[in-house]
Structure formats: C-alpha cells, structure tokens
Chain A
Amino acid sequence: MRIVSPNGHLGFAPTRPGSFYESLRHDPDFLIADSGSCDIGPGPLGGNTCASPREWQCHDLELMLLAARERKIPMLIGSAGDTGGNRSVDMFVEMIQQIASAHQLDEFRIGYFHSEVPTQAVADAIRRGTMVPGLDGRAELALEDIDRTDRIVAVAGSAPYISLLDAGADVIIGGRSSDCAVFAAPAIRAGFAEELAYYMGKVLECASFCAEPYGGKESVMGEITDSYVDVTAMHPDQRCTPSSVASHSMYERSHPYFEALAGGTLDMTECRYEQVAEKTTRVTGPKFAATDELFVKLEGSGLVGSRYIGFAGVRDEYTIRHIDDAIAWARGQVADRFGEGGYELHFHVFGRDAILGKAEFVTTPAHELGVVVEAVARDDAMAKSVAMTATRQLFYARLPQVKGTAGSVSFLFDEVLAASPAYEWTVNHVIPATALPGLFPTNVVSSLS
C-alpha cells in the first residue's frame, strides 16, 4: 500500500505542487495530510479560529481533492483547520463541497468526525472521581482548570478513520487526531501490522521533514508491506536517507524511541534503516505495545484576556545600559494607575534577551533595542490602556543622567495595536476513554449536499 503525504501541516503554508504531481506518478493508494498541531499556540483552539489563511487551506485541499477524485482514491485529512475543533471540521467539509461543485466533480461521500469534548463532560467525569493525570509534569486535572478552559479537544486514534473507511467515505475530514494514526488507519484496516503502520504514520506526518536537504511542504511517499516500510522523497533535490529518516523519528518529541498513542506505544528502539534506492530508505523493526486500558489525550485552551501591543525603540547608550530602570519606571507608572493586579504586563527587549529570557548568555545589549510592550487584561479597554500607559511611560522614563530629555525612546507610531486575545494551554492531560462516552462521533454526507 502506498500513501502520499503532501504537506506536514496542510494550510499553514501552501503545498508545493511540483513534488506532489511527481508523487502521483507512483500510483498512490491514499492521499493523506495532517492539518493541525498544538504548536501554533493556544489561541486558535481557545478562540475557535484558524491559524492558516482560508486561501491556502483551499489551495491545498483543492490540489489533493482533484488528484484523489481523478484517481478514485481516498483522501484523509487529520486535525482539520489547525485545531481539529468542530468549527474547523465543518468548515473543511464545506470547502470540499465547494471545490467539488466548482469543478463539477461526480458525487462522492465525505466522512467526518468531531473531536471536541464539552468542558462540562470533563468536569462531570472529575466529579465522578475519574483520575485525569497530567502530561509532561502537570498535576492531575482539577475543576479549577476546567473553569478557566474555553474549549477541549480529545486526540483521536485510528478508530474513527477506520470506521469511516468502512462506511465507504471517499474523503475523510477528521477532528483533532494523533498525527501518525491518520496515516496508520488505512494500513491497519488493510491488515498490515500495527507497528509498521504506526511507524509509517510517524515518518510521513511531517511530509518532507524526513528528507534531506531541508525543504518544507514537499511530498513524500510511504509504502508499507508485510515486512518493511519504504519512505521516498518526491522532490528532485531531496532524498530520504537512513540518517534523515532516523533523525526525524525524534523530531518534536521528548523521547526519540517511544511514541504514545491512544491504545499503545510505538517503540522505535530496534528500528533499522537501509538505503535501498537513491531516494528511498527502508525501515524494519518497529514494535507496538498495546495497553489494556484506553487513555485519550485532552488538549484545552482558555482565555486569559484581551491583548494590546506597543513598540518602542532605544538608541541612547545610557538608556540602553539602564533599560531595566526605564522598564521599572513604566511598570511603576502602570501600577500607580491600575494597581498591582488584574492585568499582565510583559516587556520583550529585542536586542538583549527577548527570545531566550533568563537563558540569554550575551550580557551586553545591542547598540539599539526594540521593546515590545505586551499588555493583557480582562477587557479591550483596559488592555489598551495598560499597553498605552506602559509604552508612553517608557518615553517619559526619568533616568537621572540621560542627556536627551525630549524622550527616552523612539516610536514607529504612537498608538498601541490590538493583538489576538491571549489564551493559555489549560489542559494537557490524559483521561480513560470509558469516562467520556460518545467520543469522536462519525457522519457521512454527500459531496453534493
């Protein structure tokens, strides 16, 4: 079975058509792409929006849909619309119908499933005594965490994809899903070993990130057999090498050899990698250990507040040396007006430590600094006012020996800008699947409806 992965995050940046069309010459059986991630931050999930422009999402879906329908092969999309939230899934289903209509495609069946879990359902499970353990060092989920959560998605495994394929879906739009399960589903359904199927998913999920040299948004193809997985780069200048494929297995994960999935753990400790053709690496030896109890990962995001951004530049060498005093002055002025609480104020000092924060090792600031003032408060008016006060007070910072007394900072503009509302990841936990009945409900609709 051959699966083409054209894009590691469909919609986030446009798929490159050249290597995608090249991949179609290899007669794939499925076209599959992951379209979401928690990497984009908590904003899109909490705010029920997309991080990707609609135009790019349409571009990528159209590219895949036209190829899939022409060849009469299924197309699967996981974690639709960046978050896998219900709105994103419904929007992708509509987009597929619109593209089908625009191209007058023959009728086909669109399967989809939702991944959102009502916050109330998780709260009820906690009240019933269900343990919801935290991941990555987080404490067990508490009712207070739910109180500050706007939206929760559960991460699906391969099951809803398999049942939609069983129901005859030609196109599947999935809610939030384990990246590798989306690719593994058709292979598992066809009877290939789970360990090879999940490995293929793991290696294909980011498309050309498993090839070298570096180049994003290019297609790669995986082929699964009874005894191995072959991975082939489709861009003329890229190759899948034992080193590029093996190193990709540890990408974005805290442990290089183990991938936790709903239903078990993929173990890549004993994987062997072998170059079998110019652009193809063969992988053997992954293992899969199924767990007795099914745990499902939950991701949740909650609103912290409205956010405004100010920007100030500093060129005076004395002010640069005393930038912390200028910031302390501005903070003090904000505190005088708004008190100490009820808002958040962050100064990002670009040219000194804005990116690394406390890990910064260059202690000499640059000869000019850019200070991004980030203010978060319960409503727009207050966030704007806090940002405005802090940014203006950088201008008026009273530093004892400053020579330029007309203003301590430069302004590109003297207003503050509305930024996206601030959200926070409030849930990064796992819950026994039995505590949440009715997860991942599936539906099939016509492309003509």
Chain B
Amino acid sequence: MPEPVRLVDLAKTLRSKNAGVDLVTFDIFFPDPETFHRVVDSRALTKESVAQLFRTEPGRVVTFLELEPLRAIKFTIRRDRPSGSPGDSDVFGAQQYAPLLSVTIP
C-alpha cells in the first residue's frame, strides 16, 4: 500500500479561476494515468467532499468531472456573490484553490 500523500504533491497543476462572473472553476491535472486513477479511486474528491471542503452546499457545486483523457479532475462552484462585488476578495478567483492543497490521498 502506498503511503498517504498530499494532493499538492501528486498534482501537476492545481488552479482556480473565474468561469464567467458567477462561477469559480477548479482544475487539477495529474502527471500520469496511475496518479489520476489513484486519486479518483480514493474517492477523496467527490462532489460532496469538495462541497464540504469549500463549506458550501452540494447544490452549489455545479459540475464535478473526472476526465480520464486529460488526467484531470474539474469542478465548478457557484460564487456567493458575483466577482468584484463589494466584499468580494478575489476578483479573478485565482487563489480559491488553496483548500485543495491540504487534501490527503490515502
């Protein structure tokens, strides 16, 4: 059995960015099919787990996709308020991926 490892150490790219004004989308790319399958099979990332991780309701996770050909996991969350509104702290949505860094893959 492999040792548990942090998602950030398995991913090649891990990013967040606006997808339009109401959504933030998260892309996680893996370097090879084995790593991709290890993460997918662990079920550490699911629609429900990312909703929990980002402290939002599963209904606000508008897409959750495991993309085998791209060796990627992608999900999209609806913002609490449109980008750049008063009170918003991340106009581009570019730093919202941070909670993913700490996820541990068994």
Contact = CB atoms under 8 A, between A and B. Distances in A.
Most buried by A among B29, B67, B87, B92: B87
A339 interface: no
Contacts of A305: 86
B63 A254 contact: yes
A253 B76 CA distance: 8
Contacts of B83: 38-39, 41-42, 425
Contacts of A423: 84
A162 interface: no
Given A39-B18, A136-B62, A424 B98 contact: no
A355 B90 contact: yes
Interface string B11-39: 00100011111110101010000000000
The number of chain A residues touching the other chain, given as a range, is 35 or more
A246 B70 contact: yes
Contacts of A243: 29, 70
Contact of A252 (B25, B62, B90): B25
Interface string B84-96: 1111011110011
A386 B13 CA distance: 42
Interface in B41-64: 53-56, 62-63
Given A254-B63, A428-B21, A247 B70 contact: yes
A374 B86 contact: yes
Interface in A238-277: 243, 246-247, 250-256
Interface in A375-428: 376, 422-425, 428
A346 B91 contact: no
Contact of A425 (B72, B78, B85, B102): B85
A246 B98 CA distance: 24
Given A256-B67, A424-B86, A251 B20 contact: no
Interface stretch (A72-80, A165-173, A221-229, A357-365): A357-365
A290 to B, nearest CB: 22
The B interface, classified by DSSP as helix, strand, loop or mixed, is loop
B82 interface: yes
Given A247-B72, A425-B84, A38 B95 contact: no
Nearest to B94: A39
A425 B82 contact: yes
A422 B85 contact: yes
Contact of B56 (A304, A359, A360): A359
Contacts of B89: 348, 354-355, 357
A41 B84 contact: yes
Contact of A256 (B13, B21, B56, B65): B65
B84 A304 contact: no
Contacts of A251: 17, 27
A376 B98 CA distance: 28
Contacts of A354: 89
Contact of B19 (A40, A252, A356, A361): A252
A254 B25 contact: yes
B96 A359 contact: yes
A359 B82 contact: no
Given A137-B78, A247-B29, A252-B17, A424 B85 contact: yes
Given A42-B85, A423-B84, A425-B85, A253 B22 contact: no
CB-based closest 9 A-B pairs: A41-B84, A425-B82, A254-B76, A346-B87, A136-B22, A425-B21, A422-B86, A254-B19, A359-B54
Interface of A: 38-43, 135-138, 243, 246-247, 250-256, 299, 304-305, 307, 344, 346, 348, 354-361, 374, 376, 422-425, 428
